[in-house]
Structure 1
Amino acid sequence: MTHIRTDCFQLTNNIKLDQIKVFVTVAESKSFSEAAIRLQVSKSHLSKQIKDLELSLSVQLIQRTTRSMKLTQEGQVLLLKWKESLLNIEDSLKDLFDNSDEIKGNISINCVGGVIGEDIIGRIISEFTLKYPKVNIELDFSSNKIDIAKNRFDFVIRMGQLEDSELIVRRLGDIEICTVATSKYLSKSKKLSNPEDLKNHNCITGSIKKWTFVKNRKSSNEKEIFVSGNINCKSGRLIKHATLKSIGIGRLPKLYCREELKKKKLIPVFSEWNAKAIPISLLYLKSEFKPARIESFIQFIVKKFPEYSC
């Protein structure tokens, strides 16, 4: 049977779980001497524990003489209830310890949507559940700011620079961003030579309207430009669709438009100026003791994300 520490658990009326365990052991043994041997403590310690328990309850549980002891009526009632409760505690902890290294249970994840969430994270999750079929995963794409503890998520996956947080942040990688348009749009619009020229163009925007660029990928030469346009939405797929229609200039993760760039349906608008890559991170609560499924998922996604996003 699993042995647990009960001295640190305090119940109502200053009653400790350890006192209940002492009472049940004494009652079952029908002897303080025998109970002391079983619990490997002194008789005087047991007597004090029982006395303190009775004082907390304001009820006598055991009638004692120099030669014998017997339970009061109240003691008999509580013995039946407390014995069953202790057995339930022991059984539940035994199950926990027996299964502590088994990778199973539920994982809840809040994630960015689009190609990253649906295609990359979705594929990683599928592969993870194939490897660990006893794990159930719930994937949520709501984009509102999430309180990971309040909403009971195990993980949150976010893009961008993150505010200071008490959460653990594991960087999964960097998402390359490209600023693109069709040759048709560029041929009929004002010339673009540096990011400041974007002020004269119709820019299809998402949640970010301040676009940051670095020249020749050197952070020492950086420009931030506020852009505007007649379409604003938080869907990368819609931004790509509008850009392909030659409505304006779009800024997208390269993951969204690899084929279009390869076939020159979309072309970069600058040769020297590049959008800054955006970090993507896995966030989770600090915990000294992580279930096997949580630790396994962390290691799995950290390893697999670069493989699927390159």
Structure 2
Amino acid sequence: MNNISWRAIRAFIAVAEQGSFTAAADHTGYSKATLSQQVSELESALDVQLLLRTTRKLRLTEVGEGYYQRCKQAMQQLDSAADWATHSREKVKGKIRINAVGGIIGEEIIAPLVIEFQKTYPEIQIQLDFSSVRVDLIEDRYDLVIRMGKLPDSTLVVRKLQSIKTRYVASPNFIKMRGPILKPMDLSQVPLIYGSVDQWVLTRGKTSHKVDVEQGIKLVSGRAMRLAALAGLGVTRLADIYVQADIQQGKLQEILPGWSESTQLSMVCPPLRHQLARVRSLMQWLKDHFPTEYERRLKKGPAEKG
């Protein structure tokens, strides 16, 4: 094992990712001959074949695929460690990559807070994108992810931001026309306004009830779902931040209030990234300011786009 160099491992990773020695040479700046020699030395030191080379193509062996995955993760950890060692004692500066939920929470609360953080620390370089897709913090190189829902047990650092209540609502005219909705099974008899989830699970204590969407309209946007509910198209389920102000103003009426659920919004980051001053500072900034902004938006309602 002492014969294996980090340079050879990086050469192997580059070839595996680029798909050829030529492309890897263009990507790394090293010559094809140098990369080929380093990979060959790595295979000799391991006494295994990592790559299948033919005149037409190159691909990983089964062992090579497994070795690549483990080496890539290890190198990312080493890069993070080097980043931490370099910047842990410096002032708040550098790049922070964030992936967050979108909609009102992302666009009207998280983004403005991140912008204010950037103004306060001008040497920070923020990269923020919105996505509901679960990301791998190691594979995708994010420093911080902001997600709703139950998180799997892991070694990641988790900080809670806000408990968000889900409400079931419809317009007063819709309820007047359709009649009262008193129990979850009544939802199967009315049109529903739904997004990416077409099976609702209502929970009250230890009791749960599943409702399959059989009629209604699908709109994969919280804003659009709210507008459809205001227009009287059916019953929808949305986070309180979308509909609380409408309920208070009588524009929407909450149904089945005893079946409302609460979902946790959390910040998640890898342990090594959490040790960076810039990441810790942003997480503390969000934790200090998010609750106040959330309460303000609850009272105000969604910003009208136009």
Give the TM-score range, shorter chain. 0.5 to 0.7
Residue number in structure 2 paired with 1:109:
98
Q: Kindly indicate which of the two structures has a greater share of residues assigned to helix.
A: 2
CA contact (8 A) 2:146 2:267 kept: yes
Which residue of structure 2 aligns with residue 253 of structure 1? Answer: 239
The yes-or-no answer on 1:157 pairing with 2:146 is yes
1:143 to 132, 138, 152: 132
Quick one: distance in 2 between partners of 1:116 and 1:99? Answer: 30
**1:134-213 counterparts in 2 under 5 A?**
134-213=123-202
**Residue 40 of structure 1 corresponds to which residue in structure 2?**
none
Identity of aligned residues (%): 31
Q: For residues 55-86 of structure 1, what are the alpha-carbon distances to aligned partners after superposition, in whole Å with 9 as ceiling and x for unaligned? A: xxxxxxxxxxxxxxxxxxxxxxxxxxxxxxxx
Deviation at 1:288, TM superposition (A): 8.0
Match of 2:120 in 1: 131
Count of residues in correspondence between the two structures:
217
**AA matched with 1:158:** R
Give me the TM-score of the superposition, normalised by structure 2.
0.64
Partners of 2:266 and 2:86 lie apart in 1 by 32
Report how far residue 179 of structure 1 moved. Answer: 0.6
Partners of 1:305 and 1:97 in 2: CA distance: 30
Distance 1:301 1:139 in 2: 14
Compare CA radii of gyration and give the structure with the larger one.
Answer: 1
Shift of 1:145: 2.6
Q: 1:276 deviation in Å?
A: 0.4
CA distance in 1, matches of 2:148, 2:215: 23
Match of 2:108 in 1: 119
Unaligned runs of 5+ in 2: 9-81, 296-306
Q: Is the 8 A contact 1:104 1:135 kept in 2?
A: yes
> How far is the alpha carbon of 1:223 from its aligned partner?
3.7
- What is the alpha-carbon distance in structure 1 between the residues aligned to residue 265 and residue 274 of structure 2? 25
Question: What is the CA–CA distance in structure 2 between the aligned matches of 1:12 and 1:158, rounded to whole Å?
Answer: 37
Quickly say closer, same or farther: Cα 1:136–1:190, change in 2 above 3 A.
Answer: same
Change in 2 beyond 3 A, CA 1:195/1:291: same
Which consecutive unaligned segments of at least 5 residues does structure 1 have? 1-9, 14-92
**1:280 paired to 2:268:** no
* Alpha-carbon separation, structure 2, partners of 1:230 and 1:254: 21
1:234 aligns with 2:220: yes
Contact 1:178 1:253 in 2 (8 A): yes
Q: 1:290 aligns with which of 275, 281, 285?
A: 275
Amino acid at match of 1:238: A
Partner of 2:128, secondary structure, is strand
Residues 205, 229 of structure 1: 8 Å contact kept:
no
Q: Give the aligned residue type for 1:116.
A: I
Q: Which amino acid aligns with 1:195?
A: P
What are the Cα deviations for residues 87-135 of structure 1, in whole angstroms up to 9, with x where unaligned?
xxxxxx9xx7688330011111111100000011012212212221211
Q: Give the TM-score taking structure 1 as reference length.
A: 0.63
**Partner amino acid, structure 1, of 2:107:** E
Partner Cα separation in structure 1 for residue 178 and residue 91 of structure 2: 61
CA contact (8 A) 1:210 1:227 kept: yes
Maintained 8 Å contact 1:204/1:228:
no
CA gap of 1:292–1:200, structure 2 versus 1, over 3 A, is same
Q: Look up the match of 2:290.
A: 305
Contact 2:88 2:277 in 1 (8 A): no
SS in 1 for 2:90: coil
- The offset of 1:257, in angstroms, is 2.1
RMSD over aligned CA atoms reads 2.6
Residue identity matched to 2:167? C
What letter is aligned with 2:178? S
Contact 2:88-2:276 at 8 Å conserved across structures: no
Partner of 1:169: helix, strand, or coil?
strand
Q: 1:121 is aligned with what amino acid?
A: I
* Residues 205 and 250 in structure 1, CA contact (< 8 A), matched pair in contact too: yes
Given residue 183 of structure 2, which amino acid in structure 1 is its aligned partner? N
CA offsets, 1:119-160, max 9 Å, x none? 110122122122212112111013333122222111111111
